[in-house]
Structure 1
Amino acid sequence: MYIEQHSRYQNKANNIQLRYDDKQFHTTVIKDVLLWIEHNLDQSLLLDDVANKAGYTKWYFQRLFKK
Structure 2
Amino acid sequence: MQKIVEKHVALVEALKEWIEAHVHEPIKIEDVAHKAGYSKWHLQRVFQDVTAETLGSYIRNRKLALAAEELKNTRYSVCFISDRYGFDSQQTFTRVFSRVFNQSPRAFRKSNARM
Which TM-score bucket, shorter chain as reference?
Answer: 0.5 to 0.7
- Which letter maps to 1:33? L
For the pair 1:50 / 2:32, whether they are aligned, the reply is yes
**2 CA distance for matches of 1:35 and 1:66?**
16
Secondary structure (helix, strand or coil) at the match of 1:66 reads helix
Unaligned runs of 5+ residues in structure 1 are 1-19
Q: TM-score by structure 2 length?
A: 0.38
Larger radius of gyration: 1
Q: Which structure has more helix as a fraction of its residues? A: 1
**Percent identity, aligned pairs only?**
34
Q: TM-score by structure 1 length?
A: 0.64
Runs of at least 4 residues of structure 1 off by over 4 A? none
Structure-2 residue corresponding to 1:4: none
Unaligned runs of 5+ residues in structure 2 are 50-115
For the pair 1:25 / 2:7, whether they are aligned, the reply is yes
- Which letter maps to 1:37? I
- Which letter maps to 2:9? T
